[in-house]
């Protein structure tokens, strides 16, 4: 296991620190607020501000932007190498993420708040646009911006003691990291409205019943192992096909059926232009395991 990140409050920006290890052409710096770890082509990003329950300060957002851009860069340019087949996002300590940083927000002007919201929207879109699945491994509180960060991921796995909620209205705030848009997609309009109007939290079992959480685990260790196993399973499939599936799912959100099917047909066309499709179908007919070129 390669561990690239350490907590270092003296580090001030990704550009002014010595680089960490490399994977493919990816070179992670040591982030002030994130830990990064790679094992078996699974990248785990741990938000690491446990004293503030991993609240999403501007610095966390900046580190997430940098880290996701680095992953995206290598996956886009490594021409079939695919050194990362999936990403896990989790939190250090007892919280996944307890929201946007309330302390930092007390001093924000309305325009600064808009910029803060827009910046985090960019992070959530960067997660959606990564060509590999991203799993939120929710190890504790996922509140406000934390729940919104989890909902930007492809899958939400959780430990049975986790809790979810959008308590913004209790602070005189509204969701600003995507909750108004993504929560109804996960749980439906009725429950989303109730949760957003009341700030009521869901425990992990309720969140699973509501469709927010895909899988529940008894311990954090089992949670991380479970997420890791899913990425390993993804890693046996065609990388090009998985990327196309993710792209299609994101692009068709909110479309009419006809428009969505048109996007799917384009995606199907694109799959037929890949070497992975040639290899996958050949291997099936030859009764062999495919060795996907990843293109």
| Catalytic position from the list 65, 73, 168, 288 | 168
Q: Which CB, 40 or 194, lies closer to ligand HXC?
A: 194
Q: Which CB, 168 or 276, lies closer to ligand HXC?
A: 168
Which residue is associated with the tokens 């910046």?
A: 119
CB of 133 to ligand HXC, least distance (A): 24
d(CA 186, CA 164): 13
CB of 65 to ligand HXC, least distance (A): 15
Q: Which CB, 23 or 151, lies closer to ligand HXC?
A: 151
Residues that bind ligand HXC (CB under 6 A): 52-53, 55, 98-103, 116-117, 141, 143-145, 167-168, 171, 173, 175-177
d(CA 207, CA 186): 10
CB of 271 to ligand HXC, least distance (A): 37
264: annotated active-site residue = no
Q: State the distance between the two ends of the chain, measured CA to CA, in whole angstroms.
A: 27
Which three-class secondary structure string do you get for the chain? CEECCCCCCCCCCHHHCCEEEEECCEEEECCCCEEEEEECCEEEEEECCHHHCCCECHHHHHHHHHHHHHHHHHHHHCCCCCCCCEEEEEECCCEEECCECHHHHCCCCHHHHHHHHHHHHHHHHHHHHCCCCEEEEECCEEECHHHHHHHCCCEEEEECCCEEECCHHHHCCCCCCCHHHHHHHHHCHHHHHHHHHHCCCEEHHHHHHCCCCCEEECCHHHHHHHHHHHHHHHCCCCHHHHHHHHHHHHHHCCCCHHHHHHHHHHHHHHHCCCHHHHHHHHHHHCCCCCCCCCC
Is the distance from CB of 76 to CB of 129 less than 8 angstroms?
Answer: no
| Catalytic position from the list 73, 148, 205, 279 | 148
CB of 163 to ligand HXC, least distance (A): 8
Q: Which CB, 171 or 273, lies closer to ligand HXC?
A: 171
Q: Which CB, 44 or 124, lies closer to ligand HXC?
A: 124
Q: Which CB, 55 or 137, lies closer to ligand HXC?
A: 55
CB of 148 to ligand HXC, least distance (A): 6
104: annotated active-site residue = no
- Give catalytic residue positions: 148, 168
């Amino acid at each position: 296991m390669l561990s690239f990140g350490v907590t270092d409050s003296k580090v001030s920006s990704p550009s002014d620190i010595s680089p960490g290890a490399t994977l493919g052409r990816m070179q992670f710096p040591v982030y002030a607020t994130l830990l990064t770890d790679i094992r078996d082509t699974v990248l785990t990003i741990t938000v690491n501000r446990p004293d503030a329950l991993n609240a999403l300060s501007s610095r966390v957002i900046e580190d997430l932007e940098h880290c996701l851009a680095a992953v995206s860069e290598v996956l886009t340019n490594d021409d079939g190498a695919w050194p990362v087949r999936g990403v896990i996002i989790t939190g250090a300590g007892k919280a996944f993420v307890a929201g946007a940083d309330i302390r930092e927000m007390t001093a924000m002007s309305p325009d600064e708040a808009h910029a803060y919201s827009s910046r985090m929207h960019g992070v959530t879109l960067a997660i959606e646009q990564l060509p590999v699945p991203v799993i939120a491994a929710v190890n504790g509180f996922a509140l406000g911006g934390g729940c919104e960060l989890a909902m930007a991921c492809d899958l939400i796995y959780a430990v049975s003691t986790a809790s979810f909620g959008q308590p913004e209205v209790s602070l005189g705030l509204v969701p600003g990291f995507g909750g108004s848009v993504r929560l109804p997609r996960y749980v439906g309009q009725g429950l989303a409205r109730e949760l957003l109007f009341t700030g009521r939290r869901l425990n992990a079992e309720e969140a699973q019943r509501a469709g927010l959480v895909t899988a529940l685990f008894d311990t954090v260790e089992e949670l991380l192992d479970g997420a890791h196993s899913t990425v390993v399973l993804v890693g046996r499939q065609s990388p090009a096909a998985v990327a196309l599936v993710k792209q299609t799912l994101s692009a068709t959100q909110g479309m009419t059926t006809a428009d969505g099917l048109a996007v799917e047909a384009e995606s199907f066309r694109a799959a037929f232009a890949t070497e992975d499709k040639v290899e996958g179908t050949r291997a099936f007919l030859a009764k062999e395991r495919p060795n996907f070129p990843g293109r």
